[in-house]
Structures are given as C-alpha cells and as structure tokens.
C-alpha cells in the first residue's frame, strides 16, 4: 500500500526560508515524521519563493515585441516580457496562449511564469535549477533526520489534446525518474519495446491529489512506493529535440 | 491521507468475464473490501479482454496504405491496418511512430492498439465506449456490495516533449473528472483564471504506481480521495478541436 500524506503545517514561505526545516518540523508536528524511502513532493511555488524567484511587475520594462503580442489579450505586457525572458523558444502562440520552452528545455504554458499564490504586483519564475532545489532539500532533510528521502519539485501543466492540468516533475533528487520495462517480457512472453514509465511525473500527479491550490498544502509525503535507486534528474524526462514531433 | 491499494488476486481475464465480480472477490480476499467512496482504477487491457476487443492478426488484410507505411518499420502491416481502422485522424507520422486520434477522439500513439499482455497472434483494441465500461463495473460493484464507488478505466500514454509514459483516464463513471478552481481566489486574493485540475488523470497516474506492467495487478483501489460528485465522463477531458494548437 502506498500512502499520500499532505503536510498541513507549512507556514507561508518567504525568500531565504529553509524549506527542509519547514518540512521536517511539519512532518513531526503532524505525527507522521520522516522515514527512509519517503518521497517528499514539493510545489514549485514555495521553492521559487524560498529561492527569491519573484520579480516586481513594475520593475519590468516590456519590449516592443512583448507589447505587440499582448495587444488584445488580458495579459499585462510586463508579464509577457517576463515570460519571454524565461523562454528559449516559442512553440505556439494563439491569443493569450503562449506555449514556450523554458531555459531548462521544459515545454509548458507561459514558460512557468505565473501570478497565483504570491503577493500582488509580483510574478513567480521557475527555480533556476529545480534538480538542485530538490537536492538541497534532500540533503537538509538528511542532515536534520538522518533519513534518506527522495525529493520531487512539481509544477502544474496543461497538455495538448486534453483539457485541464496535472502536476509533473520539474526537479528530482534521489531516484531514477523512470521505471523502465524495455526489453522485459510480459507473462505471454512478448517483449515490451517502448514501455518506460515516467514514475516521477506520476508521483507528482499523485501528490497533487492531496494538495489543492487554495488549502495551503504545498508539500506532500508519498510513503511506501518502491522507486529505482539513483541520483536522478528531471532533465532525463525532457524529450530530445530530434525525437520530438511537436516542437 | 489517501491510500493506493493494488489488488493482487485478479485472475487472467478472458472474453465474457465479469470484472466487477473479480474486483469485489479480490478486494474481499485481500481483506480490504470495498468501501463507499472508493475509486476503482482498472487497466484498459483487462476491460478490452473482458469485452472481447481482441483481433487475430492473421484475420486482418492490410490495405495498400498500411503496407506502404509499414515498410522499413518493425511493425507488421496487419498491425498498422488495425491501427488505421481504429483511427479517425492521423496527427503525426514519422518512422514507426504513429500518433492518431481514436474513434473516441482521444489522441494517442497507435490509436491505443497494442500487443502486450495478450495471447500471441492477437492485437488488443480500446473498449468501444470506456465510460460505459466504467459504468458497467460501477453498477456491478454496487449490486454486489451496495457500495457507491467511482470507476476509472486507464491507458498508458506518451506525451509530446516529455519522455516516458504515464497512465491517463479513458473512461470515468461516478465523479467529475476535474477539480475546477476557475473563478476562485487564492489566499492573496488573486483570481485563478485557468486552473482546472484533471484529477481523473492524476488518479490514473497515482494508481499506475501500484500496478506495474508485469506483476499482474490490473486493478487498484484509491481510498480517501474526496472527489466531486457527478456521473462524469472521460470525454469531458478531450480538448475541443477549435481550442487545440497541436491537432
């Protein structure tokens, strides 16, 4: 049995806060503690806040291009400018929708720049290196508790062809992000050719079920899942450009 | 806390088998039973088998087009033919990769036709109406146990831009597939404009973590998740063509 446990006691996070410490305290307070093999799933928003990845809207000077593509949309040209600065490539644009490749090569709406759950007048950017963010929290938890855990940083993403969003992993530390069945044979002796499950993304989605966007639960512990050992990286889940039919 | 419970005792499924009965028996045998509010997540493969959605490769006569596009790939032209018959539109083709829109308007690799975990010499097709498949199981479980449950039918899907696959929902009965935050305000009084979480897909992914492709666990119970009431349908999660930037 796998358990998904939302942590209730994480305070509002500010720049410079120590998330590892917050997580350990909240888990202890809630009586669940931290155990070896726990997967700690952390919402990008609180990581970005702790790392000071907020920008003031009024300090952004929008370019000509940002102004032009914001015309007729509800998005502030300064917000558009921040998106462009975080982008290394625009994949699709239509009306207010802007699908971009981020500095990390993730493809997502608005290059991960958003305005929710932060102080008014600011924008929140993705962490510079979400794998490192995950690793920092993992090491801190180890230091405080001696427990070996996995940390996954997640963000909420739309999908082509399907409505609604799900959480995916943007940072991973302490596990391989896949469960790879390629080359194995099923009970009928058929060799699985392509099956390579992106379990880090599934863990991100599973954790979201215990989070909620308004309830102040930015951290979830998944307990009882047997992951593949390894340092891991969310970058392993980026499809190489030469294999990509939609970029 | 949310629990993800894999059911170990589901036997090999054949055409005509009663999945609802298998699920109830396995849950009782395992000592977990069925409870009101349980979400029963069932792999498409066993649903297709129970519904007789297997075709014999040797009974398929490939068209000229199926032969032509199979040249230089490892895929049998009869397999390609089955994919084309299940498709209403081809989204992308390159080498052996064929991204198609199915009869249900789902967009996925090979229109959901595959060869794993079935008898040699056969292909497995998606259920004709996976929402109905879900509903049939739900009603059967209700009849046997008097419990009100949700049933989700899942399949394993690749994603553009990201490597690996995750499970998504192709049939839903007994819950709304979304948790809709649009129009709600966050703790900073910012109105969420687009957040509408596809929780049925997240539940599908969460369940996959307890399944595994080789371990014979095609059914998982998720217990303790508070879903939105409604009959629901996986079709609600299909992005309308006019909103779709990648079709």
What mean pLDDT value characterizes chain B?
A: 95
CB contact under 8 A, A120 and B188: yes
Neighboring chain A residues of B172 at a CB cutoff of 8 Å: none
Question: What mean pLDDT do residues A163-185 have?
Answer: 96
So what's the pLDDT on residue B169?
98
Which residue in the set A4, A181, A209 is minimally distant from B214, CB to CB? Answer: A181
Judge whether residue B213 has pLDDT over 80.
Answer: no
Among A101, A159, A175, A240, the residue to mutate for chain B (most B Cβ within 10 A): A159
Question: What mean pLDDT do residues A104-129 have?
Answer: 95
Of residues A225 and A247, more confidently modeled:
A225
So what's the pLDDT on residue A214?
76
**Closest chain B residue by Cα to residue A203:** B206
> What token pair was written down for B17?
């088998």
**Closest chain B residue by Cα to residue A93:** B245
Neighboring chain A residues of B209 at a CB cutoff of 8 Å: 2, 199, 202-203, 206, 225
Question: What mean pLDDT do residues A58-62 have?
Answer: 97
Closest-CA distance of chain B to residue A88, Å: 14
Judge whether residue A189 has pLDDT over 90.
Answer: no
| Residue B188 pLDDT class (50, 70, 90 cuts) | confident
Judge whether residue B65 has pLDDT over 90.
Answer: yes
Percentage with pLDDT > 70 across chain A: 100
CB contact under 8 A, B239 and A160: yes
Question: What mean pLDDT do residues B215-242 have?
Answer: 95
Q: Exposure of A63 by Cβ count < 10 A (0-12 exposed, 13-18 middle, 19+ buried)?
A: middle
Question: What mean pLDDT do residues A31-51 have?
Answer: 98
Alpha-helical (H) ranges within chain B are 19-29, 44-50, 64-70, 77-86, 130-145, 199-208
| Residue A187 pLDDT class (50, 70, 90 cuts) | confident
So what's the pLDDT on residue B50?
98
Neighboring chain A residues of B43 at a CB cutoff of 8 Å: none
CB contact under 8 A, B187 and A216: yes
pTM score of the predicted model: 0.97
Judge whether residue A193 has pLDDT over 90.
Answer: no
Which residue in the set B165, B208, B238 is minimally distant from A162, CB to CB? Answer: B238
The DSSP element (H or E) to which B43 belongs, if any, is strand B39-43
The three-state DSSP-derived secondary structure of B89-121 is: EEEEEECCEEEEEECCCCEEEHHHCECCCCCCC
| Residue B95 pLDDT class (50, 70, 90 cuts) | confident
So what's the pLDDT on residue A12?
93
In angstroms, the CA B176 to CA B227 distance is 7
| Residue B88 pLDDT class (50, 70, 90 cuts) | very high
Closest-CA distance of chain B to residue A21, Å: 22
In terms of residues, how long is chain B? 247
CB contact under 8 A, B94 and A119: no
Neighboring chain A residues of B107 at a CB cutoff of 8 Å: 160-161
Among B197, B214, B244, the residue to mutate for chain A (most A Cβ within 10 A): B197
Q: Name, in order, each residue with C-beta under 8 angstroms of A168's C-beta and a sequence gap of 6 or more.
A: A154, A155, A157, A201, A204, A205, B162
CB contact under 8 A, A195 and B165: yes
CB contact under 8 A, B190 and A116: yes
What domains appear along chain A, each with residue ranges and CATH number?
A: 3-44+128-241 (3.30.1330.100), 55-123 (3.90.1660.10)
Percentage with pLDDT > 70 across chain B: 100
The three-state DSSP-derived secondary structure of B50-88 is: HCCCEEEHHHCCCCHHHHHHHCCCCCCHHHHHHHHHHEE
So what's the pLDDT on residue B189?
87
Judge whether residue A215 has pLDDT over 80.
Answer: no
CB contact under 8 A, B209 and A2: yes
**Residue B59: CB atoms within 10 Å:** 9
């Amino acid at each position: 049995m796998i358990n998904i446990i939302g942590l209730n006691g994480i305070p509002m996070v500010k720049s410079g806060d120590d998330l590892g410490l917050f997580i350990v305290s909240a888990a202890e307070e809630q009586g669940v503690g931290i155990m070896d093999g726990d997967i700690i799933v952390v919402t990008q928003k609180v990581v970005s806040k702790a790392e000071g990845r907020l920008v003031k809207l009024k300090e952004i000077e929008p370019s000509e291009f940002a102004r032009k593509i914001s015309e007729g949309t509800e998005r502030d040209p300064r917000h558009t400018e921040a998106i462009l600065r975080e982008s290394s490539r625009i994949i699709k644009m239509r009306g207010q929708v802007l699908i971009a490749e981020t500095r990390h090569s993730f493809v997502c709406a608005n290059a991960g720049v958003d305005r929710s759950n932060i102080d008014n007048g600011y924008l929140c950017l993705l962490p510079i290196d979400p794998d490192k963010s995950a690793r920092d929290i993992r090491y801190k938890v180890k230091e405080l508790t001696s427990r070996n855990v996995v940390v996954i940083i997640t963000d909420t993403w739309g999908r082509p062809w399907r409505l609604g969003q799900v959480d995916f992993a943007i940072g991973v530390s302490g596990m391989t992000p896949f469960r790879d069945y390629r080359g194995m044979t099923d009970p009928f002796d058929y060799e699985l050719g392509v099956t390579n499950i992106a379990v880090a993304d599934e863990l991100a989605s599973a954790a979201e079920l215990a989070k909620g966007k308004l309830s102040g639960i930015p951290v979830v512990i998944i307990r009882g899942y047997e992951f593949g050992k390894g340092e891991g990286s969310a970058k392993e889940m980026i499809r190489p450009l030469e294999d990509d039919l939609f970029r």
